[in-house]
Amino acid sequence: MIENITPCLDCGRWPIKRIVGDTVTVEADVFRDGHQIVRAALLWGRKGDRNLDETPMDALGNDRYRGQFVVEENARYVYTVVGWTDYFASWQSDFKKKVEAGRDVGSDLLEGIALLEKICGRAVKNSAAVEELKALVERLKRSSHQDAVRLALDDAVRRLAAVLDPREDAMVHKPYLEIIVDRPKARFSSWYEMFPRSQGTEPGKPSTFLEAERRLDDIQRMGFDVLYLTPIHPIGITNRKGPNNSLVPLPDSPGSPWAIGSSAGGHTAVDPSLGTLEDFDHFVKTAQEKGLEVALDFAIQCSPDHPWVREHPEWFRHRPDGSIKYAENPPKEYQDIYPIDFDTPDQEGLKAELLWVLLFWIRRGIRIFRVDNPHTKPIMFWHWLIEEIHKDYPDVIFLSEAFTRPKLMKVLAKVGFTQSYTYFTWRNTKQELTEYLTELTQSEMAEYFRPNFFTNTPDILSPILQTGGRPAFQMRLILAATLSPSFGIYSGYELCENEAIPGTEEYMNSEKYEIKVRDWNKPGNIKDYIALVNAIRRENPALQYLTNLRFLPADNDAILFYVKSTADMSNVILVAVNLDPFNTREATVTVPCDSVGVAPGQAYVVKDLLSGATYTWSERNYVRLDPQVNPAHILRVEQRL
């Protein structure tokens, strides 16, 4: 019996996720009837490879086995467990007990020799090992009884027999289980989201890619490594939205970038006001040189002016009067957007075109896509699409922008999305954050759901940011950047922009419908703070992992306290955050000695990587956080005293 393999998602239906270089640890229950000795091994390798590697599993007791292997390549892998009876070892174990009990073992010895001869006879091919075992059998036969007994009990015989064992009752667990092995950025990334058209200096005038390049140094200095651009495609004219999502556009209203497509082209074109495809390529190359990988938005929807509307009317839903239905989520209406009808009779044509769109940008060097509203498209479409892309481009990262019900968000990650947006923006209290992070890091989700904690998005300006001022922006940044190895901000965050349409989480005068021109060096900005936090993330590997998070006690509900460390404890980071942006809060925090790698009672020096101050800490420590000064400590264990 091979049972209860871990990790294993939904009976093997979905792959787990790992990063190149990761060690994959697999456990399973392996057992059979009776008292025979059972062996187990992992079979693993790249998906599709004819021959799998084999790694022995160690017995943990209680019929549980564990093995490990390292995934070296950015590719899809498979693994499974094989179990078999080690008849010779079982014989040897019984034989030993009988010898020790002083029993007559003459007949048993003959049985052992017969077993070895059978193993020789059935060995797959002749080899040095077979010759060695044959010689050994001869020796056993020729030896005196006493010598033969000693020889038969030798561990070397058992090992040799194990090597040649034909494993006649071997059982391989089906189905094989799968792993998506991603490149490191899938786990550790810092995202900056911006509207390329809003990077200019002249009010009301959209910037081009060329002008937007001038912002790259600023973004680089803040320490980001992914630059996510809202859609860059031509924007429709029909039903174009005006300021604040109004139905009446102003003469110069640029339209929402998500109203994709015009006479200038669709999903494979760039908006003429941004420049040409060559300008885009130049932008991507310049960004790359500054360590910024450009991510594009993949929004499967069209403006009424998109070429597909004319070329493929059957890809859209029609009203009884023949007109095409615009998007809605009653009572909300999106008059400038036509959704795609995935129930179209031309499903194959549609899928081929969408695949082609991605490949178009991939061939221009793009390897990260932030996918807009994937939860309103068929789940199994994503499964197909991501697997198709990964066949040739395993380095492509897909970020799922699904803010919806938990199970739908989870299944999108299961079918293949590399990273996922989360509920982080709506988790504010210590209890909310602790519960949510515990689920993300300690439940089965850790096997497949990689959170990307955005502090804000063009659609989400959370109440705490609306009211909490600069301290709230710093506090939420620290949380996003230290709780999750992947995090992001939407531009304007560094300026602490916080004006919302009252009673909503929508930005007032949202950039979705207007060209913004900002003073990027406005007083009160937190650019240096962001740069410092990103530098701390880069320099401290403990912050580059998710599941190493451990919450620790702080006797004040407004202070969240946690530790992250590398497996070897060479990098240990303690973080204390004041969740209250309005008041100074203090707490006694408790640090179990094992969480920082000290002996009970041993003191240690911590350095606050934000302020530079050092403290001598022990099991209980006093923390005081004034949000006006700094809402958090990021303490590195420097020296164990």
Residues engaged in binding a second copy (CB under 8 A): 1, 3-4, 10-11, 29, 31-35, 62-63, 93-95, 97-98, 100-101, 103, 107, 110-111, 114, 319-321, 328-331, 375-379, 405-408, 411
How many residues are listed for the chain in this entry?
641
Can 72 be counted among the known catalytic residues? no
Cβ 107 to a second copy shortest distance, Å: 5
Q: Classify the phi-psi angles of 381: left when phi > 0, otherwise alpha if psi is within -120 to 50, otherwise beta.
A: alpha
Cβ 319 to a second copy shortest distance, Å: 5
Return the number of the residue (251 or 330) whose C-beta is nearest a second copy: 330
Return d(Cα 368, Cα 405) in angstroms, integer: 24
* Catalytic residue chosen out of the listed positions 336, 372, 447, 580: 372
Return the number of the residue (11 or 248) whose C-beta is nearest a second copy: 11
Return the number of the residue (66 or 364) whose C-beta is nearest a second copy: 66
Phi, psi of 536 (to 5 degrees): -60, -40
Apex 274 CA angle, 271 and 280, nearest 5: 95
Closest of 527, 554, 435 to residue 483, by C-alpha: 435
Cβ 106 to a second copy shortest distance, Å: 9
Return the number of the residue (98 or 214) whose C-beta is nearest a second copy: 98
331 cis-preceded (ω within 30 degrees of 0): yes
Can 401 be counted among the known catalytic residues? yes
Return the number of the residue (11 or 128) whose C-beta is nearest a second copy: 11
Return the number of the residue (331 or 503) whose C-beta is nearest a second copy: 331
Residue 456 and residue 496 in contact, taking contact as beta carbons nearer than 8 Å: no
Other beta carbons within 10 Å of 139: 12
Closest of 74, 9, 11, 2 to residue 43, by C-alpha: 2
Alpha carbon of 495 to those of 82, 320, 346, 490, 527: distances in Å? 57, 49, 47, 11, 8
Return the number of the residue (97 or 522) whose C-beta is nearest a second copy: 97
* Catalytic residue chosen out of the listed positions 401, 494, 497, 511: 401
Cβ 342 to a second copy shortest distance, Å: 9
Closest of 591, 553, 561, 564 to residue 579, by C-alpha: 561
Cβ 505 to a second copy shortest distance, Å: 19
Alpha-helical runs (H) found in 484-518: none
Long-range pairs, 29-34, Cβ under 8 A, ≥24: 29/1, 29/2, 29/3, 29/4, 29/63, 29/64, 29/65, 30/1, 30/2, 30/3, 30/57, 30/63, 30/65, 30/81, 30/83, 31/1, 31/63, 32/1, 32/83, 32/85
Apex 590 CA angle, 587 and 592, nearest 5: 170
Return the number of the residue (85 or 498) whose C-beta is nearest a second copy: 85
Q: Which two tokens stand for residue 433?
A: 């954050």
Closest of 361, 232, 236 to residue 309, by C-alpha: 236
Return the number of the residue (205 or 375) whose C-beta is nearest a second copy: 375
Running DSSP on this structure, what letter comes out for residue 616?
A: E
Residue 93 and residue 153 in contact, taking contact as beta carbons nearer than 8 Å: no
Return the number of the residue (376 or 618) whose C-beta is nearest a second copy: 376
Closest of 85, 25, 31 to residue 57, by C-alpha: 25
Cβ 444 to a second copy shortest distance, Å: 11
Distance of CA 533 to the CA centre of its chain: 21
Cβ 147 to a second copy shortest distance, Å: 19
Long-range pairs, 202-209, Cβ under 8 A, ≥24: 202/517, 203/515, 203/517, 204/252, 204/515, 204/517, 205/515, 205/517, 206/254, 206/273, 206/274, 206/515, 207/274, 208/273, 208/274, 208/275, 208/279, 209/270, 209/274, 209/275, 209/279, 209/280, 209/282, 209/283
Cβ 108 to a second copy shortest distance, Å: 9
Cβ 436 to a second copy shortest distance, Å: 15
Cβ 464 to a second copy shortest distance, Å: 25
Closest of 628, 66, 506 to residue 243, by C-alpha: 506
* Residues annotated as part of the active site: 372, 401
